[in-house]
A and B are shown apart, each in its own frame.
Chain A
Amino acid sequence: MTAAPDRKVSLWTALRSPWVATPCLLALAVLGWDAFVAARNVSPFILPAPRPVLGEWIALLRDARAWGHTGMTAAATIAGFLLAAVFGVSAGILLSLSKTLERIAKPFVVAFQVFPKVALIPLFVVWMGFGPGPKVLTAAILPFYPIMMNTLLGIRSVPDGFHDIMSSFDATCLQRLRRLEIPYALPFIFTGFEVGIVLALVGTVVAEFVSGSSGLGYLLVSRINSFETAQMFAIVLHLCLLGLALHAGVALLRRLVVPRGA
């Protein structure tokens, strides 16, 4: 008599755990997709069913050339992200040094942010040709702003009391930066990195749409052009997993770098 309500409670508890709920929701979405395609009799050129997409994805995993394209995309993304990290953090620190500097630079920074930067990709191709240059540059430009702004926000968030304490220790500007502001801002900076790595991937893929003859973005466009919609979906799935992996990499780095107490 008492076992039944107990089981009900534990089922409910299990459903609320993200390890159960998330896969369940995912399965539900895929089933819904499958049912929709079957019920409406959708053309596979418009929306293929989940099963053929999965089949194409497994085929993609077995294809060495596809891995080559994956490597190209990943490499351009990571290179662009690293550039954005170096320049974004440096720019954030630079702006934090002086309110006046921040006020002078702000209009340019905002203009740069609101401008649709991907519109410049054709120009990058003119400048740098069809190699990895335009991809890396685009992957660097998109995450620059969030990384810079998070760095600035983190440094600005240092409580006044900490600054007073550092003043009483007669700390130099450089000591203040190294011992207080950067450690304090690290969690903020890593939040910028986590947003940034995903934006870097977006930048790379869009640049691959426009230019070049390699990378997952290029592969995706070529599949669309030959009406291989299921393959295109497989590449989207593949990109999704690549994004997750890159994001997980940054999250892991955060665990290693950001100290326990901060």
Chain B
Amino acid sequence: MPPTLADPDHAPIVLEEVAKTFDAGQAASSALLPSSLTIRDGEFVVFLGPSGCGKTTLLRMIAGLLEPTSGRILMSGQPLWEDGRCRKELLRRLGLVFQDACLFPWLTIEQNVLVPLSLRGHLPRRERAPVARAMLALVGAADIAAKLPHEISGGMRQRAAIARALSYDPDILLMDEPFGALDAISREALNLELQALWLRSRKTMLLVTHSIAEAVFLADRIVLFTPGPGRIDRIVEVPFPRPRAPGLVFTQPFQDTVRGLHERLSALMERA
């Protein structure tokens, strides 16, 4: 079990009434109503909800890419945004993965994984290559190091993107629908891989998805979002023990949880 300590000074991420409004000409539209949440150390949190309910917007604010219109984001007790600027020293505690792997097409996978290290000048050049190999091995992609991104499958590209995000050893991994563009079989393999990675590293993970089954399989807690305008509807604890086997998805308790979430989402969609 992950630590359940909810001390906000030590929680990796605390959201205090975080909201975002986009100025679209005269009509300002609310992408996310004020939302509060405490993410615990080493926890696996999943944002679940249909498109357009502000999941990406919230993740981008946590990632320091988008400034909240109001509210505060605290990382280990320190505000991420100050005077309209994101605090860069907190950024290196975050790793980012998107639905598109965003690997540079002119670099090999190994060089791609090393981009953040060489940008930050963390390690002497000679010590970097072994890090890349180790990170790729960690996500089950050791043998594609010398390949170019267009030469490998979508699943392998996502593994490489995760390896790149892990290369500078961040405490928190933020993932926005990382497996959204993959086929069902690759997706299942990567869900297992991600769980194994989480169990080994005990990093705090925050994953956005619109797949209920993926959410239930991976999450300690599911944060259910609702559209029109986007807000947090409820938070659902997922009690299944770890490691969760692929067969879990066929069990009655798993399917009951999925059905419960499905019914709640349907009700929310009807109301919206």
Q: Which residues of B contact A186 (CB under 8 A)?
A: 106
Closest to A166 in B: B119
Contact A168 B91 (CB under 8 A): yes
Contact B120 A165 (CB under 8 A): no
Query: Measured between alpha carbons, how far is A61 from B41 in the docked complex, in Å?
Result: 79
Contact B106 A261 (CB under 8 A): yes
0/1 interface trace, chain B 73-103, chain A, CB 8 Å (1 if under)? 0000000000000001001101110101010
Contact B94 A168 (CB under 8 A): yes
Q: Which residues of B contact A168 (CB under 8 A)?
A: 63-65, 91, 94-96
A180 contacts chain B at the CB level, 8 A cutoff:
yes
Query: Measured between alpha carbons, how far is A259 from B64 in the docked complex, in Å?
Result: 32
B49 contacts chain A at the CB level, 8 A cutoff:
no
Q: Which residues of B contact A261 (CB under 8 A)?
A: 105-107, 148-150
| Total of A-B residue pairs, C-beta within 8 Å | 58
Known: A168-B94, A170-B119, A261-B106. 6 other contacts (CB 8 A): A162-B102, A165-B98, A166-B119, A170-B92, A183-B106, A261-B105
Question: Which residues from chain A sit less than 8 Å from chain B, CB to CB?
Answer: 159, 161-162, 164-171, 175, 179-180, 183-184, 186, 259-262
Report, nearest first, the 9 A-B pairs whose CB atoms are least far apart.
A259-B106, A261-B105, A168-B96, A261-B148, A161-B102, A262-B106, A169-B116, A165-B102, A169-B119
Could you write out 17 A-B pairs with CB less than 8 Å apart?
Answer: A159-B102, A164-B96, A164-B102, A165-B98, A166-B119, A167-B64, A167-B65, A168-B91, A168-B94, A169-B120, A170-B88, A170-B120, A179-B115, A183-B104, A259-B106, A260-B106, A261-B107
Question: Which residues from chain B sit less than 8 Å from chain A, CB to CB?
Answer: 60, 63-65, 88, 91-92, 94-96, 98, 100, 102, 104-107, 115-116, 119-120, 148-150
